[in-house]
Chain A
Amino acid sequence: MRLFEYEAKEAFRQAGLPLPPSGIATTPDEAAKVARELACPVVVKAQVLTGGRGKAGGIKFAKNPAETKTKAAEILKMTIHGHPVQRVLVEKRLDIQQEIYVGITIDRDRRRPVVICSTMGGVDIEQVADEHPEKIARFWTDPVLGLRDFEARQIAKNAGFEGRAMLHVAGFLLRLWQVFIKNDAELTEINPLIVTKDGTYIAADARLNVDDNSLFRHKALAERLSKGISEQTELEQRAQEHGMTYVELQGNIGIIGNGAGLVMATMDAVKYYGGSPANFLDVGGGATHDRMRNALEIVISHPDVEAVFINILGGITRCDEMARGIVDAQKTLPRQVPIVIRMIGTREKEGAEILEAANIPFLNSMDAAAKRVVEHSKEGVK
């Protein structure tokens, strides 16, 4: 899950990273009050769970409290990439001498955290990597040992920092490492890390994405998610609450399956036969009949869905459970659409009996089922 900038900054503060003085505001008046307390000039920043807010106009400067109020009012009215702005962070504006990049993420192929450092901060780091690869220092840390002090100094040196600057940057890397470990981060970065005209080092921005699988160790974040505050859509959240993954797409065929690979292959098969998936729902391994019923309800809640393809290949998942879920769902579904079922694997016979007793047809071949659901989806369009 992605954290708001102000949440990330709280985590940074706890790790001892220096930050600009700031306050959070939900109304223009509150923003003006924060600006008075901080002494202007300030910068007003939209708090949204999406990138590119700067380009979208979600970051504005203000010289005095009155201007802060106007700018905050403008930003609080905005919706950035589908995310309505509900809060702004008002921060004291810094006199910038230099902008630096430091970040830590996970390199899946090397199975290790990678620490990244560059003298070119303040811009998209991927762009720097493309255009000036020599300006980026990378270091793959041992996940058991963690980042050691001498390694942090070497990374800073490799990025081009010397003397006192090297020591300062190394200090930031080590504290950022603490943030990374303590918060089970998938990604954490400071971009830019600012050196002010009087030589102070300050984390001007903060980014922190926390591994969803670790939320049992991060109760406050789990609680925020449970209130529905996240980067996900409503249906994605509903699916997650039931332990399933839901992805929204552009077409008119709902797809349910057990196992991400199978659902992806199902999506590819639907496209192969000329159809277009509206969404994608993976019920996961060992799903119960309740989960399948919820899955159907979620998929059909998407208004574009005109036919549903359920592809079950039982392993840890049992066909009889899935069949029972489908039969249950038929009684409670908000609307009727053609459902094509393909079902084989563990407890296939028992599952077949349940479906046959309820007069629900099913197939054994994924390709035959894909063809049929595409036909249904086209009838709907007529």
Chain B
Amino acid sequence: MTILVDKTTQVLVQGITGREGQFHAQAMREYGTKIVAGTTPGKGGQEIEGMPVFDSVVEAKEQFPKINASIIFVPARFAADAATEAIDAGLQVVTVITEHIPVHDEMRFIELARRQGSYIIGPNTPGIITPGECKLGIMPAHVFKQGRVGLISRSGTLTYEVAASLTNAGFGQSTAIGLGGDPIVGMSFVNALKLFEEDKGTDATVIIGEIGGSAEEEAAAYIKKHVTKSVIAYIAGRTAPKGKRMGHAGAIVSGKTGTADGKITALRKAGATVIERPIDVDEALQKIL
């Protein structure tokens, strides 16, 4: 059991003819993901390493009706249109890798997805991986291993860091999700925690948060009320100064909100184990499992 994506997921790559789209479409296929087609407007009819290219999502779906997920590598100024197109075509999981999408565009397509019941993962995310079954993202696959720990993160590279620690210690992952580093993202910790709580293949969840916003505080409130499985949390940026954006547009301590201390306290109160360094994750899991 896993969440959101598995070996049956049929994937469309939007922006498949671009440099990143092409590179990662192949990498995902080599991993075993069922990449069935791609889109690039104006390049319909071409092929990329045997993968057919269509002008639109609807045309791809006509040919391959079982497509249920997409991954977007379209440049920022066209990404909102690509996401809206996928939502409109009824795809259940839309993963937006693109970074630097205008926040007004993000608010609009995330609202449209909410109305349609599609999951948006990202934007500005490494994607989602169910080790051994489906990689819908750009993450280095070798740091992940099949197992029973759920992983949810606001940071791309930190996800790899923690996944590598887990894998080295013998804890595989059921599914790992990058929520994305922008201030506005589709899927939240709460959405993902709910799915992991319901998933029979997940024994515990690791959440990797960072300063800024109150997604971690909301996660804490949700954990307290609804989560019975163990949660381990790491918060990046505890030494960040106030008022400075730490790389991610979303990572900023403004006024009293968004501090690492506030998040850590909320998560501890909700019963989560908060670790100080990414490498402490195995020790924490060993105590719990």
Contacts and interface: CB of A to CB of B under 8 A. Distances in A.
Interface of A: 106, 108-109, 111-113, 126, 142-144, 181, 184, 186, 211-214, 216-217, 245, 247, 249-250, 257-265, 267-269, 271-272, 277, 280, 282, 284-286, 313-316, 344-346, 365-367
Interface in B50-73: none
Nearest to A312: B157
B184 interface: yes
B45 to A, nearest CB: 28
Contacts of A267: 237, 239-240, 246
B213 interface: yes
Report, nearest first, the 8 A-B pairs whose CB atoms are least far apart.
A261-B155, A260-B247, A259-B157, A262-B157, A282-B247, A261-B158, A143-B107, A260-B248
B214 A261 contact: no
B288 interface: no
Given A142-B111, A143-B104, A261 B153 contact: yes
Given A315-B140, A315-B157, A345-B140, 11 more contacts: A108-B184, A109-B215, A259-B181, A260-B210, A261-B159, A263-B247, A264-B211, A267-B246, A268-B237, A269-B277, A315-B160
Contacts of B107: 106, 111-113, 143
Given A313-B157, A315-B157, A265 B278 contact: yes
A344 B184 CA distance: 30
A265 B153 CA distance: 13
B181 A313 contact: no
B236 interface: yes
Given A109-B213, A260-B181, A268-B236, A366 B161 contact: yes
25 contacts: A111-B110, A112-B107, A113-B107, A143-B108, A181-B104, A211-B102, A216-B77, A217-B77, A217-B102, A247-B247, A249-B241, A259-B157, A261-B153, A261-B154, A264-B155, A264-B247, A264-B251, A265-B155, A268-B239, A315-B157, A315-B160, A316-B20, A316-B24, A365-B279, A367-B277
Contact of A280 (B161, B208, B246): B246
Contacts of A344: 164
Contacts of B77: 216-217
B237 A264 contact: yes
Interface string B106-130: 0110111000000000000010000
Contact of A263 (B234, B246, B276): B246
A256 B132 CA distance: 32
B104 A214 contact: yes
B99 A108 contact: no
User: For the complex, would chain A's binding face be called helix, strand, loop or mixed by DSSP majority?
Assistant: mixed
B262 interface: no
B103 A261 contact: no
Contacts of A245: 245, 247
Given A106-B183, A315-B140, A184 B102 contact: yes
Contacts of A277: 239
A225 B224 CA distance: 46
Contact of A144 (B111, B143, B234, B247): B111
B255 interface: yes
Question: Which of A108, A142, A261, A264 has the most chain B CB atoms closer than 10 A to its own CB?
Answer: A261
A143 B109 CA distance: 9
B239 A261 contact: no
Interface in B142-167: 143, 153-161, 164
Contacts of B164: 344
Nearest to A181: B104
A313 B158 CA distance: 8
A211 B153 CA distance: 24
B101 interface: yes
Contact of A261 (B101, B248, B279): B248
A245 to B, nearest CB: 5
A114 B248 CA distance: 22
A249 to B, nearest CB: 7
Contacts of A144: 108, 111-112
B247 A106 contact: no
Nearest to B244: A247
A260 B161 CA distance: 13
Contacts of A264: 155, 210-211, 236-237, 240, 246-247, 251
Contacts of B244: 247
Interface in B189-224: 208, 210-211, 213-215, 218
B83 interface: no
Nearest to B236: A264
Contacts of B110: 111, 143
Contacts of B111: 111-112, 142-144
B120 to A, nearest CB: 10
Contacts of A211: 102-104
Interface in B64-98: 76-77
Interface in B230-261: 234, 236-241, 244-251, 255
B100 interface: yes
A369 B123 CA distance: 31
Nearest to B279: A367
B138 interface: yes
A315 B139 contact: yes
Contacts of A112: 107, 111
A316 B238 contact: no
Contacts of B250: 108
Contacts of A269: 277
Given A143-B111, A211-B104, A126 B20 contact: no
Given A106-B183, A267-B240, A366-B278, A261 B104 contact: no
A278 to B, nearest CB: 13
Given A213-B102, A259-B155, A286-B20, A315 B247 contact: no
A212 to B, nearest CB: 8
Given A216-B77, A280-B246, A313 B104 contact: no
A366 B134 CA distance: 28
